[in-house]
Amino acid sequence: MAVPTETFYQFPEGFLWGSSTSGPQTEGTVEGDGKSMSNWDYWYSIAPEKFHAQIGPKDTSTFYKNYRKDISLLKETGHTVFRTSIQWSRLIPKGTGEVNQQAVAFYREVFSEIKKQGIQLIVNLYHFDLPYCLQEIGGWENKEIVYAFESYARTCFDLFGDIVDTWITFNEPIVPVECGYLGEYHYPCKVDMKAAVQVAYHTQLASSLAVKACHEMNSNHKICIVLNLTPAYPRSESSEDKTAARLAELFQTKSFLDPSVLGTYPEELISIVKEHDLLPEWTQEELDIIKENTVDFLGVNYYQPLRVQAPSADSKEKLTLDSFFAPYDMPGKKINPHRGWEIYEKGIYDIGINLKEHYGNIEWLVTENGMGVEGEEKFRKDGVIEDDYRIEFIEDHLIELHRAIQDGSNCKGYMLWTFIDCWSWLNAYKNRYGLVELNLESQERIIKKSGYWFKELSQNNGFRK
């Protein structure tokens, strides 16, 4: 009887292993810390019932108090790279102007401690969190916010540029557009496609201005944007379904990918927004800024594929994204039963090959990939979460990532979401993603089985399966 053979998946020398998190999901709020109200703080103050178990952004995973212990656990779980974010509302409480010196001290200590551990640091400027005082003047619909963001970015580069040399402008910028202006999942909960297009354009312009500022202030620093590049797969080979998939990628992926990497918007996207009278207010000077200030590399978040089909006739009555494509629930799909999301590992391969073939084989990192699990405590054995399902999820995605690298895709690292179970927007702590368990009552941190496995993965720069 033949014995099944195992393969060792060796990754390139210098490949980075780590995880991503964000300031608003981990830091929490401590009395007297000088932080102002963000859009999330405000929304929670007026509608706490929207948040799972009414746990709001004040009660996140206490990184502000416990960062030294948390950073030591990065080392214990094999991190060679770590990504977090600065909270704009903490650093510049009024959005512009005076800097909160407590925040400067906090972030300098955090960043220095990470670097001291020999861990490469990537710092994100914006992870869905806007100072609420700027939301009051229209948020990202108002072009003033673009220049406020540029000033904030320059302040960050000035204050922390001696410690941080790798930056991110925005995390998943399409998400606040879709969730805040085409749905009711982020504040300000508007459904207005013209406003959505304006917000997307302003966000891209702000990102490009931050790239420009970064390169002007220190030409050795690298800066990227993090995009959730969810491939769209059609229900069938019919022309209608294939068109729906093309349009889904146009709106959800290429709307930020093309201007960020290539410096231009897709002609088809411009034609569609023009046809439906959705063009944002713009100037040629702004388009030149976007053209001339593309990112140095790309961060890619991938969780699940986007399955689509042709829209129904009645969905075209009021103009929304549903007018162009409709979701498709594919029968028999592999699924995470603890979260309800499809698992489709090949998506990460398809992303890598798309970047190779259509985006100049730009250097990229997987900046988020992970498995959320509700009720994870049921897998505890002898005090430790035995999360073999998470290990298998990571392995199966890494096999496809390895294949993409073998086929020439220029991927330089893999970062899991996330390090320690963290607060997640409307879901609070419902779904756990961490390599480290957070006990909400005691604030104890306990490394899961996957955390020990991840250290071996990092030390071996690969794994056997």
Catalytic site residues?
172, 368
Report whether 185 contacts 177 (CB < 8 A).
no
CA distance 403 to 400: 5
Q: E strand or H helix at 124, and its extent?
A: strand 120-124
Rg (CA), the chain: 21
Burial (CB count <10 Å: 0-12, 13-18, 19+), residue 357: exposed
> Which of 339, 332, 455 lies closest to 79, judged by CA?
455
* Matching residue, tokens 């990470």: 114
Q: How far apart are CA 410 and CA 17, in angstroms?
A: 15
Integer CA distances (angstroms), 199 to 105, 123, 240, 255, 290, in order: 32, 23, 29, 12, 15
In three-state secondary structure terms, 6 is: coil
What span, in angstroms and rounded, lies between the C-alpha atoms of 126 and 328? 31
| C-beta of residue 119 within 8 angstroms of C-beta of residue 81 | yes
Alpha helices in 218-299 (DSSP H): 239-249, 255-257, 267-275, 284-292
Q: Is 45 helix (H, G, I), strand (E, B) or coil?
A: helix
